[in-house]
Structure 1
């Protein structure tokens, strides 16, 4: 505000120019449980809506690969290697990376590509709408939200599956650096936010490592004979 007043000639200088701005904390991302993620990615096959094969492939790929919305929408058929089990992804700043493709996602993509839903395409883009054109970001958001509302009773954002992907890998013991590489983060500090939400992993390590927690099991054991 004072910078504006200085530019307008209302005041001579900004008295707050040396003040330190408070740091704004980052909200922890929403994460699905493993069971919720399973129910969501299996929803298209269960509900059998129009283009359900495409929708199943989208949801499986989002969760299997932890992609951003822009990354999955820009995937081309030539980016997919079903035999080797990987995707070539174009991330932020045009940076490319290769990510593993889980077996469920690979099967879902193969089923989609073999269906009439895929043959209407007018482009090399992997996922297309009913007119054979690339899906919009708005359409993807609505797709994920509609399926999640149907099976989970809440509206989920595509990025929630990316958050869940990272958190579930960390919960299972994957090294933070590997998760960073899979997500395409330039800095590991960006990935570290997921360490704050891996509660089950945190509690497991805490109970195993803290002397008073570990001691609780030993205290219940019979005392050795003197």
Structure 2
């Protein structure tokens, strides 16, 4: 048998192995770095949006103010309505929405974040129940609710990178919130903020694959 025939057989075997691997159902290996943003990037975005001038600036500030405090999914964020706000018996402002899978969900909206959204509306005389809207097109005054695709474009335009070196996207803010909550407040608190059905799910996806033990291993 010639060299070409042997090579063909090897390539064929390797292709079969790859196809079998795709259907194995095994979880991918954990990434070395998380999918969220660093604290430095979050501080940079906070600083950048602190003095808005244009409608785009105000909307960016409002979107960041909600995403960075709630960890909502993109579809949940664009569905937020003022009519769905309510006060908890303990004083927090809650907003209800439909979660992934069709379940009713709710999140705490910090007063500071809510005021930023209201400022965005009042500054540009926006009269809508929706939190976030498109900007008027040229020679038009009408606005429409944001779509997940338009939210993706807006967040991508912030031009910062995730810890894995990818351009920022709405879900990266959710990962950032989940990671920080898990690190600082534990799995139960992170689970409640992210709306997971179990803290095991939260720990599985948001636990860092490495840990600096130097503080504890001081022999």
**TM-score, normalized by the shorter chain, greater than 0.5:** yes
1:176 maps onto 2:195 in alignment:
no
Give yes or no for contact 1:40–1:148 (8 Å, CA) kept in 2: no
Distance 1:67 1:22, change over 3 A: closer
User: Structure 2: which 5+ residue stretches go unaligned?
Assistant: 1-22, 136-141
Superposed displacement of residue 72, structure 1 = 0.2
User: Contact 1:91 / 1:97 at 8 angstroms: preserved in 2?
Assistant: yes
Q: CA RMSD in A?
A: 2.9
Question: Which residue pairs with 1:15 in the alignment?
Answer: none
Question: What's the offset of the Cα at 1:128?
Answer: 1.0
- Describe the shift of the 1:143–1:117 C-alpha distance in structure 2 as closer, same or farther (beyond 3 A): farther
Deviation of 1:143 after TM superposition, in Å, equals 0.5
Task: Kindly indicate whether residue 135 of structure 2 is the aligned counterpart of residue 127 of structure 1.
Answer: no
Moved more, 78-87 or 56-65: 78-87
Residues 145 and 109 of structure 1: CA distance in aligned 2, closer, same or farther (over 3 Å): same
Select the residue among 91, 98, 110 that pairs with 2:99.
91
Aligned residue in 2 for 1:207:
214
- Give the distance between the partners of 2:48 and 2:148, measured in 1 at CA: 20
Structure 1's unaligned 5+ residue stretches are: 1-19, 216-226
Give the drift of 1:163: 0.4
User: Among residues 158, 181, 201, which one is paired with 1:147 in the alignment?
Assistant: 158
Equivalent in 46, 60, 63 of residue 68 of structure 2: 63
Partner-residue secondary structure (3-state), 2:105: strand
List per-residue Cα deviations over 1:163-191 (Å, max 9, x = no partner): 0011112222x120221121111233321
Aligned residue in 2 for 1:224: none
* Aligned pair partner of 2:176 in 164, 167, 171: 164
Quick check: 1:31–1:161 contact (8 Å CA) kept in 2? yes
Q: Alpha-carbon deviation of 1:95?
A: 1.7
Q: Count matched residues.
A: 183
Question: Greater RCO between the two (CA within 8 Å, min separation 6)?
Answer: 2
Tell me the alpha carbon deviations over residues 123-158 of structure 1, each in whole angstroms, 9 at most, x when there is no partner.
x322111232110111101111111349xx972011
Q: TM-score, normalised by structure 1?
A: 0.69
CA distance in 2, matches of 1:38, 1:90: 30
Structure with the bigger percentage of helix: 1
Say if 2:54 is the partner of 1:43.
no
Aligned in 2, Cα 1:39/1:138: closer, same or farther, shift over 3 Å? Answer: same
Could you tell me whether the CA contact under 8 Å between 1:80 and 1:88 is conserved in 2? Answer: yes
